[in-house]
Amino acid sequence: MIEQKQKVFVAKLQELPMRIGREVIVDENKIAVFRLSDDRVRAIGGVCPHSHGPLAEGIVSGDYVYCPLRDYKVSLIDGKVQEPDDGSVATYEVVIEDDSVYILL
Amino acid sequence: MKERLLLIGNGMAGVRTIEEILERDSSKYEITIIGEEKYTNYNRIMLSNVLQNKMTVDEIITNPMQWYEENNIKLVNHDPAVAMDTERKEVTTESGLKLAYDKCIIATGSRAFILPIEGSQLEGVIGFRTIDDTLLMLEQAKKYKRAAVIGGGLLGLEAAKGLVDQGMEVTVIHLEKWLMETQLNEPAGNLLKKDLEKQGIQFLMEKKTTRIIGTTRVEGLEFSDGTTLEADVVIMSVGIRPVTQLAKDAGLTVERGIVVNDFMETSAADVYAVGECAQHNNMVYGLVAPLYEQGKVLADLLTDRPVEGYKGSTVSTSLKVSGCDLFSAGIIRESDEVKSIEAFNGLANSYKKLFIKDNHIVGIVLYGDVSEENRYHKMLRDKKDISELNPVTLLASAEDGGVSDSVVNWDDADTVCGCNGVTKGTIVGAIQTQGLTSVAEVSRCTKAGNSCGKCKGDIGELLAHVLGDKVAQAPTGICGCTDLTRDEIVLQIHEKGLMTSKEVFKELQFRNEEGCSKCRPAINFYLNVAFPKEHEDEKESRFVNERMHGNIQKSGQFSVIPRMRGGQTTPQQLLKIAQVAEKYNVPLVKVTGSQRIGLYGVNKEDLPDIWEELDMTSASAYAKAVRSVKTCVGAAFCRFGTQDSMGLGIKLEERFEYIDTPHKFKMGVSACPRSCAESGVKDFGVIGVENGFQIYIGGNGGTEVKEAQLLTTVETEQEVIDICGAMLQYYRKTGEYAERTAPWIERLGFDHVKAILLDPAQRQALNAELDEAVAGKRKDPWTEVRNNENNEKELYTVGRV
C-alpha cells in the first residue's frame, strides 16, 4: 500500500534567505525550514526538545542549527540533538519543483 | 671553587648576557653585578611609555630583586664602579667596596649627551635616559607649562609626546631639515612631522641652540640666528655617548666606545664589553637588538661553547608614539651603488621606500603602514635575491599577489621579537617543551612580545602552527572552532584583508566552515568594526534578537520596547502604546529597568504592524549596542540638581544610539552625587556637580556587580560627549565580543584606558574614526522593516496551513 503524503508549499526558493529559518505551521505543528549555503533545503521539527525554543530563529552553520534559547545544537540531517545533550526532533522530506519548495508530511 | 664573574652595569645588555650565561650553564660562575642606579634591571626602551602614561615604573622592571636572589647573584646596587685594576683583577666601587674577578664584563651603556653650551647646567635641564630622569620629567610637568626638547630624534620625539600627554606645551628644536634624519628620508620625515603636529607638538626646524637662558633655573633658549624661545623645562636629546671613563682609566683601548673584537674581548685579558659602551668594527650601537646578539656571543664564549663570533648587526627602528607608525632599517641613503624604489599613498598618508644594491634590499623606510615590516626586514636580513621580482610586485603588499612570508616559513635562527632578541627556534622550542598554549604564556617564558608587543601576531601564528590538532585542548580560542584569540583574529583580519566571515573561517582554518553560534556573531562584529564601509552586515550571523529587533522570550515570542530618549515620554506616546497593547492583546505591559515601557509576549508576525502603529523607534533594548540613557529629573525640577541631566542624557542618546558595541553599553546621567540614575554602576555614568560633570566608566549592575571608576571631571557637556565617543570607539576596537566594559577595563588596565581617553589628540582621532565608521548606519531598524528596505518583512513571515 502506498502511503499518500501531504505536500505543503513553503515558499519560492529565492524567497528563503540563506541560513535564516522559516517557520511553517501545519495543523498547529511547527516546522522549521532552512535554506543552506549550498541551496539544499532542510525541514525539521520547529521546537527544540529542551526549552521548546523556536528552532527557525536559530543560527545556522553547515548542517546544524543552534537553538536560540539554550544553544542546543541540532542536526538538520537527522534531527538529533548533538552531544553532550540528547534528544531529537522530527525530520521532513523536502522537494523543490520549479523553484517552489514543498515539504512532505 | 667557582670562577668569579663580575658584571659592571646593571642594565639591559649586561643582565641579558648574564641570563644567556645562566641558561647555558647556571652553575659555572659566582656572579656579582654592580649597578649605578637604585633600581633592578629595567627595560629602558619602555621609559617613553611611562612618560606617555601607558605603563608604570613597576611594569618596566624586567628583573625584580627576586630574580637576583633565585639565581644567587650578588647585587651591589646604587654604588657605581669607579676604578678597575686589570693586573690585580679587582674593581672598586664608589663606597670603597673592592670586588675581585676572574672574568669581568663591562656593560656601562651610555648617557644622554648634554650640549656643551652656556646654561646647560641650569636647573630644569634634563637628559632623558633613566627612570629617575623620567620621574623628574613627570614631576616638572606638574609644576611647569612650557617644555623645549632639543633634538628631533627617536628619543626626543617620544619625550615630546610624553610631555604633551602630561599637559605641557612642547616645542621640539631640530638642527636638520627633517625629523629622525638618520632613520628616515625627507618624505617620511615630513609625514611624521605633520602627524606629530596634529598631536600637539610644535617644531622649530633647522635651528641651532647656542645658549640656555636663565640664572638659576632655565628660562629659555637662544638660537644661532639670534631668535629665542621661552621654556621652563629643557629636555636634551641630541644623542647618547658611551660611558667609557672607567675603561679608559684602566688603560683599555677606547675610541668612541670600548674597542672589542668579534668575541667581545677588550684589549685587557679576561675583560669583555657588550652593549652601548662597546665599539665593534667601528660601530657603536644604541639600539637593543644588537646588544642582545652581542650578549649571546659572549655567553657562548664564557660557557666554553663553540662560537662563531659577532659579525655586526643591521639595526632597525620603530617609534613608540601612537598614530605614527614607522619602521626603518639598514642603509637608507642613495648612492651610485644603492638605488631605491618608493610608493606614496597620499590618501592613507603612508609611504614606503626600499633601498636596493646588487639585487638585494639593503634599506627600508616605512611610514604609516608598517604591516609589511617583517616581510621586508627578513628579505634584508636573509639577503634575498630580488632580481626575480619587479618593483611593483616588491612594493605591493604580500596579500596583493606579492610574496607572502608567514613567520611559519622562517628559519629557526630568524628573530621574531626584535626588542628582546628572541628567535623563532626559541619560541617554537618553548611551545613544545613547556606545553605553552597562549601568547601570554610564550611571552612569560621567552620574553618575546614583552616589550613593544608588535610580534604577538607572529607568536600566535607560531602557536597555531606548532600545536596543530593538539590545540583542541588549548583554552585560548574564542570558541570550539578555532584556537585563535580575539586579538589574533582581528590582527589577521586586518593583515590579510579578510572581508567576509566566509573568508575568515577559510583563511584562518576554522574547524567548522561556517563557524558556530559563538563565533559567527563575533566575527561579524569584528568585520563591521574593521571595515565599516566595505563589510556588509551578515544578518544570518546575528543572534535572533538583533536579527528580529526584539528580545526573544521563553515562549518564542518577542518584546517591543520603543525608544524614549532619556526616559522622557509624552501623553500621545502613552496613548498609542495603550491602544496597541489592547488591540494586539499584549499579555504584559511593564516599565523596564532603564526607564522605558515594554510590551511583552508579542507574536513574531505582528511585530512589523505593531511598529507601524506605534510609529516610534526602537530602543535597542535587545542589542549588543549603545542602550538607552537613564536620567534623573535634574536641575529643572529637583532641588538638589546641579545640571540638566535629562538634557545631557537625551543628547548622549541622540549622538550615539544604534552604534554596535562588543556588549551592551549602558549609560546614566544624574544631576547630583545622590546619583538617582545609578551612574555608579553604568558602563558610562555621569554625575553633575557644581563645576561640571564627573565621568565614571566600567560600572556594571549585572551578573557581576562592578562599581564604575572615576575617570575625570570635565566642565562642559561637549567634553562628556567627546569622552563618551572616544570610549565607545576604543571599546569597539579592542573589546572582545560579549565582553562588558568592566572586564574590558580590567584587561587593558584602567590607567591605560584613562590615558587614551584623556589625551586630546587620541580622543579627537577616536571620535573621528567613530563618526566615519557609523556614518549612514545609525538607522532605526523598525523603520527599515516598516519600509521593507532590505526585504526584511520576509523574516516575519510564518507559513500557516
Position A1 in a domain? no
User: Which range marks the domain in which residue B215 is found?
Assistant: 125-238
Same domain, B652 and B762: yes
Is B800 domain-assigned?
Answer: no
Q: Would you say residue B403 has pLDDT above 50? A: no
b/e map B738-750, b = 16+ CB within 10 Å: ebbbbbbbeeeee
Exposure on the CB side of residue B492, measured as CA atoms within 13 A = 23
Question: Mind listing the pLDDT tens digit for each residue in A47-102?
Answer: 998 888 999 999 999 999 999 988 899 999 999 998 777 889 999 999 999 999 99
Cβ within 8 Å, pair B795-A24: no
Whether residue B375 is found in the same domain as residue B500 = no
What DSSP element (H or E) covers B428? helix B424-434
Task: Taking residues B586-612, report their average pLDDT.
Answer: 94
CATH of the domain at B210: 3.50.50.60
Q: Does residue B258 share a domain with residue B205? A: no
Written as nine digits, the cell of B762 is 587620541
Q: Minimal CA–CA distance to B486: which of B658, B663, B656?
A: B663
Task: Give the relative orientation of helices B486-496 and B519-530 as an angle to the nearest 10 degrees.
Answer: 50
Count the alpha carbons within 13 Å of B49 in the hemisphere toward its beta carbon.
Answer: 20
Does residue A2 belong to any structural domain of this protein?
A: no
C-alpha distance from residue B760 to each of B264, B339, B712, B752, B754 (Å): 47, 41, 13, 14, 12
The answer to whether residue B559 is domain-embedded is no
Query: Within a domain: residue B719?
Result: yes
Are B177 and B226 in the same domain?
yes
> Are A15 and B540 inside 8 Å of each other by CB?
no
Q: Is residue A77 part of a domain?
A: yes
Asked if residue B797 belongs to a domain, the reply is no
In angstroms, the first-to-last Cα distance of chain B is 95
A15: left (phi over 0), alpha (psi -120 to 50) or beta: alpha
B64-113 pLDDT per residue, tens = 999 999 999 999 999 999 999 999 999 999 999 999 999 999 999 999 99
Q: Kindly state whether residue A21 falls inside one of the protein's structural domains.
A: yes
User: CA B425, CA B414: separation in Å to the nearest integer?
Assistant: 8
CATH number of the domain within which A14 lies:
2.102.10.10
Q: Is 0.85 exceeded by the ipTM?
A: yes
Q: Are residues B67 and B7 in the same domain?
A: yes
Cα–Cα dist B587/A70, whole Å: 24
User: Is A76 a domain residue?
Assistant: yes
Q: Is the Cβ of B797 closer than 8 Å to some Cβ of chain A? A: yes
pLDDT of residue B446: 83
Q: Are residues B213 and B250 in the same domain?
A: no
Subunit contact A17:B795, Cβ cutoff 8 A: yes
Chain A residues in contact with B517 by the CB 8 A cut-off are 58-59, 61, 66, 71, 73
Same domain for B197 and B84, yes or no, is no
Closest-CA residue of chain B to A57: B544
Q: Is the pLDDT of residue B393 over 90?
A: no
Identify the top-confidence range among B390-404, B471-485, B689-703: B689-703
Q: Residues of A at the B interface (Cβ-Cβ below 8 Å)?
A: 8, 10-11, 15, 17-20, 22-27, 33, 37, 51-54, 57-62, 66, 68-69, 71, 73
Distance, in Å, from the CA atom of B217 to the CA atom of B371, rounded to the nearest integer, reads 45
CATH classification of the domain holding B743: 3.30.413.10
Which structural domain range is residue A83 located in?
7-104
* Residue B621 lies inside a defined structural domain of this protein: no
Lowest mean pLDDT among B124-128, B175-179, B533-537, B785-789: B785-789
3-state secondary structure B655-716: HHCCCECCCCEEEEEECCCCCCCCHHHCCEEEEEECCEEEEEECCECCCCCECCEEEEEECC
Q: Find, among B74, B87, B67, the residue nearest to B4 by Cα.
A: B74
Cα–Cα distance for residue pair A26/A22, rounded to 1 Å: 13
Reported confidence tier of residue B461, pLDDT bands at 50, 70, 90: confident
Q: How many domains are contained in chain A?
A: 1
Give Cα separations from B10 to B93, B101, B175, B444, B542 (angstroms). Answer: 14, 16, 33, 21, 55
In a domain, B785, yes or no: no
B267/B186 same-domain check? no
Q: Is the pLDDT of residue A2 over 70?
A: no
Q: Which of B626, B618, B656 is nearest to B784 (CA)?
A: B618
Q: Where are the beta strands (DSSP E) in chain A?
A: 7-12, 22-26, 29-35, 41-45, 59-61, 64-66, 73-75, 91-97, 100-104
Reported as a pLDDT band with limits 50, 70 and 90, residue B442 is confident
Q: What is the pLDDT of residue B221?
A: 95
**Do B100 and B144 share a structural domain?**
no
**Other residues' Cβ atoms within 10 Å of the Cβ of residue B292:** 25
Render the burial of B532-548: b for 16+ CB within 10 Å, e for the rest. beebeebbbbbbbbbbb
Q: Do B234 and B246 fall into the same domain?
A: no
Sequence letter at residue B422: V
Cβ count near B570 (within 10 Å): 9
* Of B354, B381, B405, the domain-final residue: B405
Which whole-number Å values give the CA distances from A87 to A32, A49, A52, B550, B611, in the listed order? 17, 7, 12, 29, 37
DSSP state of B371: T
pLDDT at B89: 96
**How far apart are alpha carbons B571 and B208 in whole angstroms?**
72
Chain B interface, best mutation among A24, A50, A57, by max B CB count within 10 A: A57
- Mean pLDDT within B644-671: 96
Least-confidence region, from B255-264, B424-433, B725-734:
B424-433
Cis peptide before A84 (omega within 30 of 0): yes
Contact at CB, B801 and A19, closer than 8 angstroms: no
**A15: chain B residues, CB-CB within 8 Å:** 794
In a domain, B564, yes or no: no
| pLDDT tens-place string over residues B339-354 | 888 888 877 778 888 8
Residues B348 and B397 reside in one and the same domain: yes
For B759, the grid coordinates are 589625551
A1: pLDDT strictly greater than 70 = no
Asked if residue B705 is part of any domain, the answer here is: yes
CB contact under 8 A, A59 and B800: no
For A82, list phi and psi in degrees, rounded to 5. Answer: -80, 160
User: To the nearest whole number, what is the mean pLDDT of chain B?
Assistant: 90
Q: Are residues B636 and B752 in the same domain?
A: yes
Count of structural domains, chain B: 5
Q: Which of B536, B563, B594 is the last residue of a domain?
A: B536
Model confidence at B703: pLDDT above 70: yes
Q: How many CA atoms lie within 13 A of A44 on its CB side?
A: 29
The angle that helices B439-446 and B424-434 make with each other, rounded to 10 degrees, is: 110
Q: How far from B234 is each of B215, B226, B240, B395, CA to CA, in Å?
A: 14, 18, 16, 41
